[in-house]
Amino acid sequence: MRTHARTHALLPSLLLLGALTFTAACAPGSNGAPGAASSDARPGATTSPTRGVDPSRIKGLQIVNDSSEHSSCPFATSYPEVPGAEAMTAAMRKDVEQRLATFRSGVCEGDQGSAGRELNISHRFLVASGDVLGVRLTTADQSGAGSGLSSRTYWYDGADRAHSPAVALVSDGARDAFLTALKDQLTGREGVDATALEGAFSAPDARATVLDDMAFTADGGLKVTVDRGDMGVPAAGEIVVTFSAKTVTPWLSAFGERAQRQTVAPGRSLDLGASSTPVPAAPTHTASGDDDTDCKRVKCLALTFDDGPAAPETATLLTHLARYEARATFFTVGQNVAAHRELVRAEARAGHEIGNHSWNHPDLTKLTPAQVASQLNRTSAAVKAATGKEPTLFRPPYGAINAQVKAATTLSPVLWDVDTEDWKYRDAAKVARAVIDKAQRNDVVLLHDIHPTSVAAVPEILRTLTARGYHFVTVSHLRATL
Ligand code: ZN
C-alpha cells in the first residue's frame, strides 16, 4: 500500500513501472475490485476461514475498523493492533488514516457523490509466531475512471523491538545480488522497460517504496510483489516474482531468516515481548431457551449491529443486551470473526442471531458472482467454525444489492428500516435519539458495534423503548412470527 503523499513523490518511477502491469493480466482477481483485495478473497479461493495463521490465537489482538454504510461514501478500512508491535501498528495507522482522509475529503465531502469510487483496505496475517509478526494490507481504491489495487507488507522484529520495512528481509551485503536477480526476472517479462526498472530501483527511497510487498511462501521462497498504487489508470495489476528458498536464503538478513523460518514452520505462539497483553473477557450470558415473543401480539423491534465483532465494544454491548433480555442480530465481517471467535460464540450463546456481512466489506454489486460467493462463503465458514452454525441471513455492505448478487448466494438479504447514521455522527445521545424517535413496530434498525458511541447508546434505547412496550427480537424471529 502506498500513501497518497508518497504516491505523488514517486509518480515518475511508478508510471514507468506501470508498463510492467500488463504482464500480470492473466492473474485472477487482478481487476482491482475490492473483492479481490485480499488474495484470500479471490474467486476459486477455498472457504477455509484462516489459512496459515489463526488470528484468534494472537493474545490481546484488536482489529481497528472504520467503515461507512452509505453508497455515497463507500469505505471500509481495517488493520490489526497487536500488543508489543506498537511501532508497526503506528506505521499501518498512518498509512490507513492518510488514505482514508484523502478518500473522504475527495469523495464524501464533495457534492458530486461517490461516482462509483470505493475505498477498501483489508488485512491478512502472513506470520504471527515466535518473535516475528508480518501483515499485508491490501488497498482497493476503485474509481469511475479505473481502479487501483495495491498492497504493502509490514514486518515486526520482536527480538530487535523494531518495525522493519520489507526490504530489510534482505541483508545489506546481498542487496546488489538480490536487485540484479530481480531485475533479470522482471526484464524477461513482456512489456517491461529496462530503463524504467533501473530508475525504479536506483534510489534507496524509491526502492523501499516500490519493494514494499515481500513475503515468504510456505516452502521458504520469497515472493516479491510489485504494484502500481492508485494511479487512476485502468487495468491495474501486479507482477509477482518468486525466488526459490535455495536462491533466496543466502541473501536474507538475520531477521529475514527468522521470518522465513516462522513462515515455513510456525511456532506455537507469538511473543513480541509486550509488557502486558490485556485480553477482554467475553461475556458468559446464556440464553434461557428459545424466544417465545409473539410479534403478532406485541410490538417488536429488530436491532442489528454490523461490521463487528470488535473488542472490547461487542463484549460491552452483549452485557447491555443481557441486562434487558434483549435479542439482536449481528451482521459480522469475516475478517473480524476470524480474529474474535470467542465474541461470536458469546453472541450465539446469548441467543442472538449471527448474520453475514461479507469478508472485508466491499460493494458486492461491483464484484463477479464468483467473488460474491467467495466473500460470503468464507464468512459463513468462519461463523460456523466459531459457533457450529452457518448464518442464513446476509446484509450487503452499503445496502448495495442487485439481481446478480442475490443469484450468487442462498443467503437471504436483509436491509433496514431505520438508519441511525451512527458511523457518521459518533454521538451516543444522537444515536439513541434517532432510534427512539424513528423506530416503529416491527422495524429493522441499523447500528454498528465497532463504535463505542453506538454501544453507549444502547442502554438508553433499551430502557426507553422497553418502557414503551417494545420487545427486542432477532431478524429471523421477527420474520418467522409475522
Ligand atoms: Zn457495514
Is beta strand 418-419 parallel, antiparallel or unpaired with respect to 238-243?
A: unpaired
CATH for 252: 3.30.565.40
Looking at the fold, whether 215 and 303 belong to one and the same domain comes out as no
Residue 270 lies in a domain: no
Looking at the fold, whether 331 and 457 belong to one and the same domain comes out as yes
Expressed in angstroms and rounded, the spacing between residue 357 Cα and the centre of ligand 1 is 7
User: What is the residue range of 184's domain?
Assistant: 31-264
Looking at the fold, whether 304 and 216 belong to one and the same domain comes out as no
Looking at the fold, whether 65 and 177 belong to one and the same domain comes out as yes
Give catalytic residue positions: 306, 448
Residue 137 lies in a domain: yes
Which tens digit of pLDDT belongs to each residue from 438-464?
999 999 999 999 999 999 999 999 999
C-alpha cell, 27: 492473474
* Total of domains in the chain: 2
Which of the listed residues 264, 290, 325 is the one where a domain comes to its end?
Answer: 264
Looking at the fold, whether 443 and 345 belong to one and the same domain comes out as yes
Expressed in angstroms and rounded, the spacing between residue 446 Cα and the centre of ligand 1 is 9
Residue 7 lies in a domain: no
Expressed in angstroms and rounded, the spacing between residue 135 Cα and the centre of ligand 1 is 23
Q: Burial, 177: exposed, middle or buried (Cβ in 10 Å; 0-12, 13-18, 19+)?
A: middle
C-alpha cell, 205: 527511497
Which tens digit of pLDDT belongs to each residue from 288-323?
888 999 999 999 999 999 999 999 999 999 999 999
Residue 113 lies in a domain: yes
The answer to whether residues 25 and 100 touch, using CB atoms and an 8 Å cutoff, is: no
Expressed in angstroms and rounded, the spacing between residue 195 Cα and the centre of ligand 1 is 45
Looking at the fold, whether 219 and 368 belong to one and the same domain comes out as no
Looking at the fold, whether 152 and 101 belong to one and the same domain comes out as yes
Which tens digit of pLDDT belongs to each residue from 222-265?
999 986 432 222 345 678 899 999 999 999 999 999 999 999 99
Which tens digit of pLDDT belongs to each residue from 184-205?
888 867 667 777 777 778 888 8
Residue 225 lies in a domain: yes
Looking at the fold, whether 344 and 390 belong to one and the same domain comes out as yes
Which of the listed residues 217, 246, 264 is the one where a domain comes to its end?
Answer: 264
Expressed in angstroms and rounded, the spacing between residue 397 Cα and the centre of ligand 1 is 5
Looking at the fold, whether 163 and 235 belong to one and the same domain comes out as yes
Looking at the fold, whether 231 and 306 belong to one and the same domain comes out as no
Residue 273 lies in a domain: no
The answer to whether residues 361 and 67 touch, using CB atoms and an 8 Å cutoff, is: yes
Confidence of residue 29 (pLDDT cuts 50, 70, 90): very low
Expressed in angstroms and rounded, the spacing between residue 165 Cα and the centre of ligand 1 is 32
Residue 289 lies in a domain: no
Looking at the fold, whether 235 and 373 belong to one and the same domain comes out as no
The answer to whether residues 427 and 416 touch, using CB atoms and an 8 Å cutoff, is: no
Is beta strand 299-306 parallel, antiparallel or unpaired with respect to 238-243?
A: unpaired
Residue 318 lies in a domain: yes
Looking at the fold, whether 98 and 196 belong to one and the same domain comes out as yes
3-state secondary structure 285-323: CCCCCCCCCCCCCCEEEEEEEECCCCCCHHHHHHHHHHH
CATH for 372: 3.20.20.370
Which tens digit of pLDDT belongs to each residue from 334-354?
999 999 999 999 999 999 999
Which of the listed residues 264, 285, 313 is the one where a domain comes to its end?
Answer: 264
